[in-house]
Every structure is written in structure tokens, then in C-alpha cells.
A and B are shown apart, each in its own frame.
Chain A
Amino acid sequence: MTRPARLAAQGLAVSLVIGLLALLVWQVANNNSKGVAQALQDGAHPTAPAFDLNRLDGRGRFDLASLRGKKPIVLDFWASWCVPCIHESTRLEAAQKRYGDRVAFIGVDTKDFSGDARHWQNQHHITYPSVHDGSGSVLAKWGGLPIPRIFFVARSGKVVGELIVEEDLPRYLRQIAAS
């Protein structure tokens, strides 16, 4: 192999290694997003990550940002295969009857089959609207599995908290309803 050809081959190999390293760094940097749940644990109140997803009932799409400045939000991540979600969603359904005029209750059906999800909603008499996040990409931005995960978003769009202790539900609802 001539000297220029050898230099070209070495340059190509070094470029390939640098390219792969850059790809690795980019991947690590992009996966470094802590999600809303972690930010809340760290004491921050991040702005709710926007999403625009198909509604589960087939009535077009729902854009979370459309409620910013208009109404506080309760965001419920659930799936039809999730057994504890039945209890939490039923509690939210009851809370909606009291706070529904001041607070928007939105479900995010995640990593789920939409047909089963619609059946699950009917079976458990859940009436607040849900969107379908089949790939779980929205859930990942909010903190990922496990579910159920319930977040409270103030009228300003800032996330106030996540429901960790069941007894905190009335407190969070009062807090965001007054925001």
C-alpha cells in the first residue's frame, strides 16, 4: 500500500472512531433528561412538557399547551393492563365531579392498545378524556414507568407536584384550583 493510500485509510478509520464516539456522547446527553418526576423530587417546578396526541375517543387531537393560562390540569398516566390504575382513575373520576368546572382532568393512556383502553374506560366508568401515548414517549418525559403517575399542573403551566401519597389528592386539587 502506498503512503498516501495508507494515510487515507488511517484517516478514515480515525474519523469512524471519532464519529462513533460523538454518537455515543450525543445519545448519553439526550438520555440525560431527568423527567418531570425527578425535577419535582429535586425541589424544582418545571414547565409541563408539551404534547399533542390523538384523543382515545377518536375526536381529533389534544394539545396540552392549549390549556396553558386557561385551566389547571390533573394529568393521569394509565394503561388498561395496569391494575392499580383502576383505583387511582376511579378516585380522579370522583374528584372530577367536584372540581371538573375549575380543573381539567386529562388521562394519558400509555404503552397500551387503544381498543382495550376504550373498553377499560367504559368498564370502569371513566369519563374524563384521555389521549393515546402508545410508544410511551410522553410518559418518558414525565418520568417513565411505573404507572399510575398523576401530576398536578397550575394554570401557569408549571408542574406543582406528583401524587405520591393518596391523602395528598385533595390538597393538590385545592392548590391548583386556586392557581
Chain B
Amino acid sequence: MRRLFPIVLLALLLVPAARASERHPTLSELEGEVMCPVCGTTLDQSSSPAAQQIKRLIAARIAAGDTKTQIKDGLVAEYGSAILAAPPHKGFGLVAWWLPVAGIVAAAIAVAIGAWRWARAREPAPAGPPLDAVAERRLDDELRRFEG
């Protein structure tokens, strides 16, 4: 339970921040999430007239009280989904989100299997059958002589 505490605390801190970002987005954060349609970069990397136009539009929508989702939906309606820097969380866009996760999971499984096989190969060979009483006494004598 003590180990879970930092994770829970982090989640409690991040959720309100995400909600605030959704309700009251800033121009600078949206500039990093929206593409310039003629430059192939995000808005924050461009000062082209097309980028300036979209920045003005976003600023106007923020001033009008739109949420981040409303602003992005409006941009997608005008320019298509390619206007967003990140692929959408639906349809074929899901592949881009989940493929890396699947890759990481597959790699973790492969590493775990490899580590398990490696560890098993290094285990000592199983001991042979126990010594009979005569052989054990003889071994003890030999050891005593060796140590003495």
C-alpha cells in the first residue's frame, strides 16, 4: 500500500491539471498540438501566413471560451484530421497509439523469457544419489586427514 501512495498522489495531481487544460486551453499548448497545413511542422515551429491564421483562429476560440476538444474538432472540420499533430484516438489512428505499447509488452515478455531460460541454464546440476554409510565414513576420514 505504501508503494502505491506516490502513484495515487501523482494521479490526483495530474487529473485536475488535465481537466483544467481541457476546459481552459492556452494558445501555447495548442500550438504544439496543431500542425501548420503548409509547412509540415507544428504551429509553434512556424511563422508562415497559414500558421498565423490558425493561431489567430485558436486565440479567438479560446477567448470565446471553447474547450480544447471543441477547438480541435473545429480545426479537423475545416482542415481534416491531418491538422492534428497526434493521430486521433479512434479508427486507424488507434494503431499509432497502441502499436508502441504492444511492442514494449512483446519486448518485455521476450526479455523475461530469455532471462528465465538463462537463469535456468545456470542452476547447479541436481545432486547424485546419497552416499552409503561406508562411503560416507571413508569420505569423512579423507577430509579429516586432509584438514589435519
List residues of chain A with CB under 8 Å of any chain B CB.
Answer: 1, 79-83, 111-114, 116, 134-137, 145
Interface contact A79-B80, CB-CB below 8 Å: no
- With contacts A111-B38, A113-B54, A113-B57 taken as known, whether A135 is within 8 angstroms of B49 at the C-beta atoms is no
List residues of chain B with CB under 8 Å of any chain A CB.
Answer: 37-38, 48-50, 52-54, 57, 77-80, 82-83, 113, 117
A48 to B37, CA, bound (A): 24
With A116-B57, A134-B80, A135-B83 known, 12 other A-B pairs at CB within 8 A are: A1-B113, A80-B53, A81-B53, A82-B49, A111-B38, A112-B53, A113-B57, A113-B78, A113-B79, A134-B77, A134-B79, A137-B80
Question: Which of chain A's residues have a CB closer than 8 A to the CB of B37?
Answer: 111, 136
Interface contact B53-A83, CB-CB below 8 Å: no
Q: Which of B50, B52, B80, B117 contacts A135 (CB 8 A)?
A: B80
Interface contact B49-A81, CB-CB below 8 Å: yes
How many contacting A-B pairs (Cβ < 8 A)? Answer: 37
List 13 A-B residue pairs with CB atoms under 8 Å apart, sorted by A's residue number.
Answer: A1-B117, A81-B48, A83-B49, A111-B38, A111-B79, A112-B50, A113-B53, A113-B57, A113-B79, A114-B78, A134-B80, A135-B82, A136-B37
Interface of B is mostly: helix
A80 to B37, CA, bound (A): 13
A114 to B53, CA, bound (A): 11
Question: Which of chain B's residues have a CB closer than 8 A to the CB of A114?
Answer: 78
A99 to B32, CA, bound (A): 46
Task: Output the least CB separation between B121 and chain A (Å).
Answer: 13
Question: Which of chain B's residues have a CB closer than 8 A to the CB of A113?
Answer: 53-54, 57, 78-79
